Structure 1
Amino acid sequence: MEKRLILFLLISGIMLACNEDISPDIKPFYIDLDVPEYMGTTVPFPERNPFSKEGIELGRMLFYDPILSSNNQVSCATCHKQELAFSDGMSLSTLGVSGEKLQRHTPALINLAWNNGLFWDGGAKDLESLAFAPLTHPDEMNQDITELVEELKQIPDYKERFKKVFGKDTIQSALIVRALAQFQRSLVSFDSKYDRYLKSGEAGFLNALELEGMQLVEEKCGGCHSGVNFTDLGFHNNGLDAEFPAAPEHVGKGRNRVTLNPEELGAFKTPTLRNIILTAPYMHDGRFKSIDEVLDHYAQNMVNSPTLDTLLTGQNDKIGIPISENEKQAIVAFLHTLTDLSFIQNQAFSNPFKK
């Protein structure tokens, strides 16, 4: 169960008692990350990996450091670019160590602290476990974790930072992914035009077309894209394909690859709509280049299959969500209000090695 970190732990000395071997001058400074009240006022985290100022900064350095890859040329940021809301703008990336095309579209990294079941099929339970997959995948970073630990140990700055954050004299693989997770959980986006509307409670922050689009998104898309993060965190077959791969471990099987539940064949995780205009192309395989293509899919191009989500069938089992051209314009206008320019310009999220 996730608990909020409260600063009085530091003040009361409880954390000091738990880490008596750490001298005060290298003690991490534990912090809360504030968010709007409609998100609970603070960013959640696992109890075993609380936020610290130094931990987030260490994670940021690792995120941008190509030392994490086997050829020392590919970093996490290679495929997660800040200017694209930490997506990559490609349908299926070829930017990994092997240069081979990946099997799934690179997801954006936005408000991940509220996620459960990461990857398109929910194959990772949290950010700490997720990191090992891209680090070791032969087509992504192709890293030997033991070798990575030894490489980092040879860098005095990293040795000091790990000791300060985690209170240990040695670098461990578990600590590497914890630092990465702290940084990625800090990537919060709540400063869009839509957020200013929510904070003010005044309709005047959105124009008439945007307000109409907001209502349409709630009515036509809210079954999956719900709440202020515009995702139910669930998995849905949204009518992309009629047939699916037979191989048990094939990523095209969607959630079924993880659960083996036949009812989840072709079901993929609902992505957030926040910063959606920045994160094209769309879907788990990046098949749609634009929002217009996505809306056309839902309006008229979905295909039937036994596991098609019932949210996408209407009267007389007709497949699709009726959307007129005028409604499309309104929906797109509203989706633009979910773009958070401060998120993609925030220096706290940027490459620390570039001055």
Structure 2
Amino acid sequence: MVNAKIIVLIAVALVLSVSSCKKEETDIIDQQVNESYQPNAPSNLPAFIDDVDNPLTKEGVKLGRMLFYDKRLSGNNQLSCASCHRQDLAFTDGLALNNIGLSGATLHRSAPALINMAWAKNGLFWDGGSTNLESQAFGPLTSPDEMFQNLFELEAELKAIPMYVKQFNLAFKDGIKSANVAKALAQFQRTLISGNSVYDKYKRKENGAQLTTVELQGMQLVEQKCKSCHSGELFTDNSYHNNGIDSHFNDDLEGTYQGRFRVTFNPFDLGKFKTPSLRNIMLTAPYMHDGRFANIDEVLTHYSSGVKASSTVDQLLYQNNGQLGIPLSSLEREAIKAFLNRLTDQEFITNKNISNPHL
């Protein structure tokens, strides 16, 4: 009888031991599955520095990509993030001001391009009203004029989908939470890295990439006349400038035209908007925060002869003789456009690793 009890105890101990080993193995496997993710940033771009509070993981990026293209993120299950941020247009929508949100109202601002967001650490939206990608996500998700999603209902809807339950548990310790929706979206967006245009390959001396004489002239002109704001290899200083598209800044439309002032309440920020990157610029028309310029020719005309004076207009737009604007001859305009075309990254807009995974 004693021997029988001993045998039973040994058997129980073995079962517990095996169960414990399996649990440890499962934990190890889960840790290995959700390993850190290092995006492939081209060498001529600034070094990639991961977000301390929301570091990239393979499962987090995968989840973010799934969510970015999923229409279930909207209140009526008809809109996804990709509805306004199309990959073929460098993650813009090709519209000045769209009205596809749930209310049907026309938005007051144009959808910005999602390019090299990992380096956008000085505020998001055209006026910098959001501090990071995580907080930014809740704007369009909950806005009545955009996706108009109830976050509690979104959590419940995602919890009813086994695929998402599994993926959230792999990506985050606390599973399906609206905060983790935002974190996953942010992780994916930080992998939207564009740095493989003809210009980039020329700079890196890759694959015999060359720029024509006219394109080289355009590159020099951009360096001389545009790089004060469109600086570095990101072609943006990620800062805010009043580029003279308006001379008065009333508070109509919830202060849309007041720019950065709407956030800081600093009078010196009236009319200042965030500098967009020149990368893929030929894909992201129409231009400016409200899409008022239909094409790049209208943009160049503005800078050469249409800059409007105001107390906060950027001093960089004044010539030595005190006149506003950046004079451009017809040949210089053509050279600049030729160069800007070489900033189009075909690999970025066709990369299947960042395309819709639901297709």
Fold match (TM-score > 0.5): yes
The answer to whether structure 1 residue 166 and structure 2 residue 169 are counterparts is: no
Q: Where do 1:90-239 residues align within 5 Å?
A: 90-116=95-121, 117-168=123-174, 170-200=175-205, 205-239=210-244
Q: Deviations over 1:148-186 (max 9, x none)?
A: 111111111101101101122x31111110000011000
- Quick one: distance in 2 between partners of 1:26 and 1:220? 52
Deviation at 1:302, TM superposition (A): 1.3
The answer to whether structure 1 residue 35 and structure 2 residue 41 are counterparts is: yes
- Quick one: distance in 2 between partners of 1:40 and 1:289? 31
Deviation at 1:249, TM superposition (A): 4.5
Deviation at 1:21, TM superposition (A): 12
The amino acid across from 2:308 in the alignment is V
Q: 1:351 aligns with which of 339, 342, 356?
A: 356
TM-score w.r.t. structure 2 length?
A: 0.89
The amino acid across from 1:24 in the alignment is I
| Contact 1:22–1:167 (Cα < 8 Å) also in 2 | no
- Quick one: distance in 2 between partners of 1:284 and 1:109? 14
Q: Deviations over 1:18-54 (max 9, x none)?
A: xx9972233302121121223245x322112111111
Deviation at 1:247, TM superposition (A): 5.5
| Larger-gyration structure (1/2) | 2
Structure 1 unaligned regions, length at least 5: 1-19
| Contact 1:254–1:268 (Cα < 8 Å) also in 2 | yes
Q: 1:56 aligns with which of 51, 58, 61?
A: 61
Question: CA RMSD, aligned part only?
Answer: 1.8
Deviates more, 1:324-333 or 1:248-257: 248-257
Deviation at 1:278, TM superposition (A): 0.5
Deviation at 1:303, TM superposition (A): 1.1
Q: Deviations over 1:192-246 (max 9, x none)?
A: 0000011118996111111100000010111111100110111011011111123
Alignment match, 1:318: 323
Q: 2:281 aligns with which of 272, 276, 288?
A: 276
Alignment match, 2:7: none
Q: Secondary structure at the match of 1:205?
A: coil
| Contact 2:96–2:290 (Cα < 8 Å) also in 1 | yes
Deviates more, 1:236-245 or 1:83-92: 236-245
TM-score w.r.t. structure 1 length?
A: 0.90
Alignment match, 2:21: none
Q: 1:152 to 1:310 in 2, by over 3 A?
A: same
The amino acid across from 1:37 in the alignment is S
Alignment match, 1:17: none
Q: Deviations over 1:71-110 (max 9, x none)?
A: 0000000000011010000000112122211010000100
Deviation at 1:314, TM superposition (A): 1.1
| Contact 2:198–2:209 (Cα < 8 Å) also in 1 | no
Deviation at 1:306, TM superposition (A): 1.1
| Contact 1:69–1:75 (Cα < 8 Å) also in 2 | yes
- Quick one: distance in 2 between partners of 1:317 and 1:37? 40
Deviates more, 1:317-326 or 1:307-316: 307-316
- Quick one: distance in 2 between partners of 1:54 and 1:283? 35
Number of positions where the alignment pairs a residue of Structure 1 with one of Structure 2: 333
